[in-house]
């Protein structure tokens, strides 16, 4: 259940627009940021706030790969498998992350810290290979750089 403070903030945001459904991504991301993923219950509450059906919100939520319908780790690592990254060491980046975290795509580390997922091009082609962690993009990845990035994430 959405806490009153967040619900009221979302209601104000939705009321400020002529077309409430335009706010669907903002609402869904706000809920995901607060709860980690978009549960069925949250999806239904989002639909209610927006005046949409749960199915309409579900269609959007399952279209975008950065909306999580299942629990994920504290940090979600999306490795870019776009064509430029493919040509620039994508496979070695993926293999390094798989080995370092001991997980494969779609899995979460046992401590709940990291989830590994693929993504299509994230617009960092000039700095390929690239990945995104919790919506922050990192490029020019090497094993050493990956170690640095993961080490700097807050505990």
CA distance 1 to 115: 25
**Is 73 among the residues that bind ligand FES (CB under 6 A)?**
no
- The string of DSSP codes covering 61-90 is HHHSTTS-SS---SEEEEEE-SHHHHHTTH
> 78-97: which residues touch ligand FES (CB under 6 A)?
80, 82-85
Smallest gap, in angstroms, from Cβ of residue 141 to ligand FES?
A: 10
**Is 122 among the residues that bind ligand FES (CB under 6 A)?**
yes
Residue 66's Cβ-side half-sphere holds a number of Cα atoms within 13 Å equal to 20
Kindly report the CA angle at 42 between 40 and 47, in degrees rounded to 5? 95
- Select the residue interacting with ligand FES from 72, 116, 128, 132 (CB under 6 A): 128
Residue 37's Cβ-side half-sphere holds a number of Cα atoms within 13 Å equal to 14
> SS3 for 51?
coil
Cβ-contact 130, 137 below 8 angstroms: yes
x-or-dash string of contact with ligand FES, 92-121, rule CB under 6 A: -----------------------------x
Candidates 19-27, 59-67, 75-83, 96-104: pick the segment binding ligand FES (CB under 6 A): 75-83
- Select the residue interacting with ligand FES from 130, 132, 141, 146 (CB under 6 A): 130
When the beta carbons of 38 and 122 are compared against ligand FES, the nearer one is 122
Question: Which residues lie near ligand FES (CB under 6 A)?
Answer: 80, 82-85, 121-125, 128, 130
């Amino acid at each position: 259940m959405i806490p009153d403070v967040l619900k009221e903030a979302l209601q104000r945001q939705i009321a400020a627009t002529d077309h409430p459904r335009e706010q669907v991504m903002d609402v869904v991301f706000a809920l995901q940021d607060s709860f980690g993923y978009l549960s069925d219950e949250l999806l239904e509450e989002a639909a209610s706030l927006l005046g949409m059906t749960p199915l309409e919100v579900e269609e959007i939520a399952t279209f975008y790969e950065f909306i999580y319908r299942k629990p994920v780790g504290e940090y979600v690592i999306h490795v870019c498998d776009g064509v430029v990254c493919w040509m620039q060491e994508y496979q070695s980046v993926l293999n390094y992350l798989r080995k370092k975290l001991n997980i494969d795509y779609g899995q979460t580390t046992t401590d709940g810290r990291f989830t590994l997922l693929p993504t299509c091009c994230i617009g960092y082609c000039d700095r390929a290979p690239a990945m995104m962690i919790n919506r922050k993009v990192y490029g020019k990845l090497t094993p050493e750089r990956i170690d640095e990035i993961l080490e700097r994430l807050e505990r």
